[in-house]
Chains A and B, each alone.
Chain A
Amino acid sequence: MVLTPDFDTRPVISFQHVHKTYPTGTEALRDVNLEVPQGDFLFLVGPSGAGKSTLVRLLIREEKPTRGKIFVDGIELGRMKRRKLPHYRRKVGLVFQDFKLLPNLTVYENVAFAMRVLGEPDHKVKARVAEALDTVSLSGKEQTYPANLSGGEQQRVAIARALVHAPRFIIADEPTGNLDPATAWEIMQLFLRINARGATVVMATHNREIVDLLRRRVIAIDAGQIARDDRSGRYHDDLAKPQVRAQ
């Protein structure tokens, strides 16, 4: 059952017949068509190696499609000039399973880092970092180092860093993969709040409980193709045989 949802808003992410074959010959994605409207919250699910990570890497333009076109916010990623890439990345908030925090920087410095690399003035950095840390409920932990934080707190720092540019899209790759269920749930609440403020969220995940509970749009990828696109879906298609949840 492949279904393209009929949304009234202009798609902000659009995949048109996207193929991705790696130089090794591995065919990671085959003829992927996908439209994501502004403000959508979407789960990418599927077994490991199905192509979720490739899709994420195409979205953040770490890879280019072999064939087909990807548009984000009207920009065709495959034809974007290399020097435009940093400007594109600033519009996207990225959150990863392994947090990607810098261990030698404090919480404040880690979040501020995303603004410092743009050469923003101190007063602006201060205000925005405070706001972002407030959003993720980490005010007061500014001077702590990541090593002294729990996994959930570290992920919240990463989310604050993703939010500090006030991005229109959040792309999260297994953000709860390293977290216990209770913490994972807290992090999900955070993503929902961010989504409620208008940001589009694309999340690749293996977390069946969360997907099934939230009943948001679910795109299931299998063997490089979109197997299912449900407006209000579950982790598994009812017809599919149950799979062991990969961690």
Chain B
Amino acid sequence: MILRNLKFALNSAWQSFWRNLAVSLAAVLSITLILILAGINLLVGHAFAQVLDGFRTKVSEISINVSDDTPLQTVYDFQAQLAADPRVVTVTFVTKDEALREFKSDPQNAILATQIEGNPLDAKLDVRVKNLNDVAAIDAMGRQWSGVDPTDPTNYQGDFVNRMLDLSEWLAVAGVALLIVLMIVSVVIVMNTIRTAVYHRRKEIEVMKLVGATEWFVRGPFVLEGIMTGLIAAAIALALLAVAYEPAVVQFKSDVGFIPLSYDPAFISSLARDLLIAGALLGAVGSYIGVRRYVRI
């Protein structure tokens, strides 16, 4: 019986969708646009998270510069002390020679490297910290250490890290706020589509009620129609986004090269899941509210 009802509901939802093609299409296109905006929001959020992750690994690494007159044993002791610290992932000792080689091997320093006489670079302890929030504490430890180079103790840039963290929080909040607004708009659009569909089928609904159809038997097709609208919109939005994603990233990279944005094909499948679920849910919620308001027994 449930199967037969489902078949009936699917049939009437499909019929109703085609019968009000203009309204259905308007709704599909509006929701497609909204889902594209939502998808762009997700993609930008994802790209930003990627970039931020890059920064994170960079800023969670600090170098503590060792002054030239520090005995090697003091350096090893401090290295061991850092390595034993639970907040620290790894500590690598880089000698003056290695630091110079590292410096010279970077093509960006090519011109500078030819002008260097002797070795002005410090030996250093490269420390990778587990948690970004602990970097400041490790930096403080390094600065207090007796063997640190007092003129240039560490490469820690506290302000930059904190600003990045703040910015990422703000962007997350703004993204969520935008998503909420978009959802409300699409629910209202679906509601109005369903109202039109209900209006077109008011005679049929009246007869259904009079012959004793249950409330959900009457409402079911409309909810299905809403879900269908949302799913079709999601599929179109997804197709457009998937096609445009890579060229957009390439274009962005060529325009703004210093932001390390990269194309992530794996993200498309998670985007597909999110958009389809969002489409179906928006359709269901919008039409549910619609039929609750306009289909009364």
Contact = CB atoms under 8 A, between A and B. Distances in A.
B207 interface: yes
Nearest to B201: A102
B210 A119 contact: no
Contact of A119 (B5, B209, B211, B297): B5
Contacts of A100: 203, 206-207, 210
Interface stretch (A17-25, A85-93, A207-215, A226-234): A85-93
Contacts of B209: 86, 89
Given A102-B203, A116-B8, A60 B210 contact: yes
A197 interface: no
A241 interface: no
Contacts of A161: 211
A89 B212 contact: yes
A119 B4 CA distance: 6
B297 A117 contact: no
Contact of A118 (B204, B206, B212): B212
B215 A83 contact: yes
Interface residues of A, number: 23
A88 B5 CA distance: 20
By CB atoms of chain A within 10 A, which of B8, B211, B297 has the most?
A: B211
Given A102-B203, A119-B1, A119-B4, A85 B297 contact: yes
B1 to A, nearest CB: 4
A94 interface: yes
B280 to A, nearest CB: 24
A26 B1 CA distance: 44
B204 A83 contact: no
B211 A114 contact: yes
B207 A118 contact: no
Contact of B213 (A83, A88, A118, A121): A118
Contacts of B206: 100
Interface string A60-92: 100000000000000000000011011111100
A116 B4 CA distance: 9
A113 B201 CA distance: 14
Given A116-B8, A117-B217, A119-B4, A87 B203 contact: no
Given A102-B204, A119-B4, A87 B211 contact: no
A165 interface: yes
B214 interface: yes
A12 to B, nearest CB: 18
Contacts of A118: 212-213
Interface string B177-207: 0000000000000000000000000011011
Given A100-B206, A102-B203, A119-B1, A83 B211 contact: no
Contact of B210 (A82, A94, A121): A94
Contacts of B4: 116, 119-121
B215 A117 contact: no
A7 B275 CA distance: 68
A63 B213 CA distance: 18
B208 interface: yes
Contacts of B297: 82, 85-86
Nearest to B3: A119
A94 to B, nearest CB: 5
Interface in A94-136: 94, 100-102, 113-114, 116-121
B213 A117 contact: yes
Contacts of A86: 209, 212-215, 217, 297
A165 B212 CA distance: 10
Nearest to A162: B211
A59 to B, nearest CB: 12
A140 B160 CA distance: 85
Nearest to A105: B204
Contacts of B215: 82-83, 86
Contacts of A120: 4
B182 to A, nearest CB: 35
By CB atoms of chain A within 10 A, which of B210, B215, B217 has the most?
A: B210
Contacts of A83: 214-215
A165 B211 CA distance: 9
A120 B211 CA distance: 13
Given A101-B207, A117-B217, A119-B1, 5 more contacts: A86-B209, A86-B215, A88-B212, A119-B5, A121-B1
- Please list the 8 inter-chain residue pairs (A to B) with the smallest Cβ-Cβ separation, ordered nearest first: A90-B212, A117-B213, A89-B212, A114-B211, A119-B1, A86-B212, A86-B214, A119-B5
